Chains A and B, each alone.
Chain A
Amino acid sequence: MILMSTINLEKELDTYFGYQAFRPGQREIIEDAMSGNDVLGVLPTGSGKSICYQLPAMLLKGVTIVVSPLISLMMDQVKQLKAINIKGVVAINSFMDTKERREIWNKLHRYKLIYISPELLQRPDVQRKLKLVGVDLFVVDEAHCISQWGHEFRPDYLKLKKIITFLDNPTVLALSATATTNVQQDILSYLNKPNMIKHIYPIDKPNITFNVEHLSGEKEKQEKIVSLLKAYYVPTIIYFSSRLEAENISALLSLKTDRRVAFYHGGMESQDRIIIQQQFMNGQLDVICCTSAFGMGINKKDVRLVIHYHLTPQLEAYIQEVGRAGRDNKSSVGLLLFSEGDIFLPKNIIKGELPTKNEITTVFRQLKAMYDQGQTLPTTDQENLAVFQVSESKWRFLQYQFEKHDILKETVIKYDQQLWKEAFLAISNRCEERLIKKDKQLQSVIKWIYHTGCLRKKLYQDFQPSYTEPVDQCCSNCGFSWKDWQPEQLTHQREKAYSWEEKLKKLLLVDVQ
């Protein structure tokens, strides 16, 4: 804990991050957290959520750890901090090899801000080491993952409560950009912090116009996008629910328009992902065709148009993705293209995330066979995925369930016939429930799409009681015309075609540039 009156937070913000002033909510959250109060902060995407722990991390004496569900997100943040010359930051995850990790372990006390994945945090040795260095601030990023009502439930988040106690109860700061009142309640109760101070800020974006267009099918969607790209030369993101479609439409758009288009998805190798992302940031690309893998941690300010080629599985995901438009608060458009057949896509994706009854049966059989032969489970996720032949999300779900039902303790299998029978039933039911729940979430997206009243009001109604009046046109139901949307357009001159000799000179000979 720190005496807040002795610190000039604005000055520190400027020193470390070069910002002159706090954005709404940041100062309030930071002051509470640094005074040792547990805080729940709900701030819209792009509002500088991460400053809420990055600044305290620099100022607090002990270590700040940040639990974050996405490795790529952690890496992005660390890269961005390093890029502005902030030291003492590290991301620890299971993709590091032992040597690398050991090196970091040995000098753990020298770090101020440690990002860690929830899986790795489960390990007792990791917990002991963290206890030893002393954690001052325990940050739960993307805290909605703790709730099964949140759109990305992560079972490992449920175990954070115990870890916080083990770490001698550091101050807890839970952050999310998307938490309905239900989810907020879950966060407080699952973290066992009923007295958390809530700082809830409206997540609506008055500068985004919501536009849903009902079209007859793929062909119409494609024509629509082509004509929009021709009419508007603005930084554009187009979201797809499949990698292949993102690739195909990307190819089509580069053929039919003279925009610079590329695709981005999780199946690309890391170097290419960084290249494409940075080309977009850097203005070398105009349009990105991508899956939901794109956008986390990207803060390009002038994205004007976010198109959804497919619907998202929950409204939360839509709010998050469309929120990548207009971070500079200038008028921007979110356009969702919908045709009736689209409903089946997310249904199939949802089914793929949870184990089927058959799969549960098979995994149970395998566990029994391993138990009979006195075997234990492999230690890494990758090996387990191979052994049990299920997808990563399915395995995470099962592993959590097995531990909960006392069938697994770390890698050791415990057998009790009666208990296993009950567990099997319980787990199967749990899957059913989750499916029903996810289907409900999907239904609310579809309801929103078919809604005839104000789309803005409907979109935000579960998250907050009201919304700010839009700065430009409101939504397609309140009346929208493309004619009246006149954003500032880019002016790009076709680059001169340089020879490789010239390019090499430009890269290497500083005085030539």
Chain B
Amino acid sequence: MLLKGIVLLCCKTLSVERTESATFHILTGKKSVQTVQDIHLYQLTKYYGVHRKLERTVYDRILKELHEEGFIIRDHTSLTLELTNQGEAWLQEIKEQLPLHYFNGLKFKSSAVLFLERLILLVQTFSNVGMNHFSFIPVLDNPLVENWVKEQYRLNKERISIYLNDLHSELLPLLQSIKGKEASIFVDRLSGHQYYGMSWEQLAKNYDMTIEDVQILLTGISHKMVHQILENKASFPLLYQVIEEGNNKRLMTESAYKTYQLLEKDYSIENIALVRNLRINTIQDHLVEIALYQMDFPIERYVPSDIQKDILAAIEKASSNKLKEIKGLTELDTTYFQIRLFMAGIDYVEQTGDINVYN
């Protein structure tokens, strides 16, 4: 029902202005200009990339069901769809029950995945070594996550039970802040000492949900947790590490990281340049770098929304991703810095590769 609700909500917002694929691209987090533009224009950033595993066949099945239930009308020539009154009513009715406010796809889609994977392996590892059990099969194959957990073990091996205690007291309030069933699903996905958690299939069966709903719910819960932890770093020092450590700073250059620390203290660009005795251009370069890695980078502070729209329109018109061409197509007083920052912020660079393509 959760995925269905989200699909219906996106379709409603996009209405007949977009084809029925647009929602699919949003949910799977497609990195195309069109999709990124859509989520900003229609304020669907929350749902961007919240179900990257979603298969097209499953999505089509959901549309078919929505159609059969009389919630949408599909136009097979224009490939658009529209909500019926019945669909509107159903959406209104279930909206309140669904944890829609958990989601923040654009901001957390990558960090929440990393958070969850690290947490799962962390719990399994520490739960085992806490019982002096050093031989177990890790449930995750990701070597990057494994290395990070190993590092945590190396740092904390003298104080395993304290670490586990801290982890427990940080996780508990987070889980208490969501519904009991949700907390239960979350805990059942975890593995520990001589115990393996549930597969997607088992969770779905146990909680009488579809696999897709379990998966997307767990994504939502992890978004909410990451949000709460970042909002209140002081209360979650350990979990903050799980999200941040080795994530942001190591990918940044040393110099950009210094700028980042000053930004965190609310210094302006000009002041940072002054304090660090660097040119403003250099600090701006740092900001672009930071925007690439800091998931909640406040782009609006440097690129107001009318400028954002201007850049989007220009990107749309441009035949290439060259900054020079895009700049030429802007209509407002938009700067190169703003374009680069904006493109970095919307994750656009991952697709285009190099951001320094001035000429």
Contacts and interface: CB of A to CB of B under 8 A. Distances in A.
A364 B130 CA distance: 60
A510 B160 contact: yes
A272 B199 contact: yes
Given A100-B143, A513-B193, A275 B175 contact: no
B136 to A, nearest CB: 6
A262 B137 contact: no
B187 interface: yes
Contacts of B168: 504-505, 508-509
B117 to A, nearest CB: 9
B180 A500 contact: yes
Contacts of A79: 137-138
Contacts of B313: none
A275 B191 contact: yes
B251 to A, nearest CB: 13
A425 interface: no
Interface in B105-157: 123, 126-127, 130-131, 134-141, 143
Nearest to B202: A262
A263 B180 CA distance: 28
A270 interface: yes
A276 B198 CA distance: 8
A499 B180 CA distance: 9
A248 to B, nearest CB: 13
A509 B164 contact: yes
A504 B53 CA distance: 28
Interface in A270-314: 270-272, 274-276, 278-279, 281-282, 284
Given A268-B199, A510-B160, A282 B194 contact: yes
A251 to B, nearest CB: 8
Contact of A503 (B139, B188, B200): B188
B147 to A, nearest CB: 10
Given A275-B139, A500-B183, A508 B123 contact: yes
Contacts of A284: 195-196
A284 B197 CA distance: 10
A279 B196 contact: yes
A278 B194 CA distance: 9
Interface in A73-122: 75, 79-80, 83-85, 100
A510 B191 CA distance: 14
Contacts of A268: 199
A94 to B, nearest CB: 15
Contacts of A511: 161
Contacts of B192: 506-508
Interface in B155-202: 160-161, 164-165, 167-168, 171-172, 175, 180, 183-184, 186-188, 190-202
A294 to B, nearest CB: 14
Interface string A481-513: 000000000000000000111011111111101
Contacts of A513: 131, 193
Contacts of A75: 141
Contact of B167 (A85, A270, A508): A508
Given A262-B202, A272-B201, A278-B196, A508 B135 contact: no
Nearest to B176: A501
A79 B138 CA distance: 8
Contacts of A510: 127, 130-131, 160-161, 164
B175 A262 contact: no
A101 to B, nearest CB: 11
Contacts of B135: 83-85
A214 to B, nearest CB: 33
B137 A83 contact: yes
Contacts of B187: 500, 503-504, 507
Nearest to A264: B199
Nearest to A268: B199
B184 A271 contact: no
A504 B189 CA distance: 11
A275 B197 contact: yes
Contacts of A500: 175, 180, 183-184, 186-188
B140 A278 contact: no
A368 B139 CA distance: 46
Contacts of B53: 269
Contacts of A507: 123, 127, 187, 190, 192-193, 195
Nearest to A505: B168
Interface in B233-255: none
Contacts of B139: 271, 274-275, 278
A508 B202 contact: no
A81 to B, nearest CB: 11
A59 B107 CA distance: 52
Given A83-B137, A100-B143, A513-B193, A508 B198 contact: no
A262 B161 contact: no
A72 to B, nearest CB: 10
Contacts of A274: 137-141
Interface of B: 53, 123, 126-127, 130-131, 134-141, 143, 160-161, 164-165, 167-168, 171-172, 175, 180, 183-184, 186-188, 190-202, 205
Given A274-B139, A274-B140, 11 more contacts: A79-B137, A83-B135, A83-B137, A84-B135, A254-B205, A269-B200, A278-B191, A281-B137, A503-B187, A504-B172, A509-B165
For the complex of A and B, the 6 pairs showing the least CB-CB separation, nearest first, are A272-B199, A507-B192, A510-B130, A500-B184, A508-B168, A83-B135
22 contacts: A79-B137, A83-B135, A100-B143, A262-B201, A262-B202, A263-B201, A269-B200, A272-B199, A272-B200, A279-B196, A282-B196, A284-B195, A500-B183, A500-B186, A501-B172, A503-B184, A507-B127, A507-B187, A507-B190, A510-B131, A511-B161, A513-B131
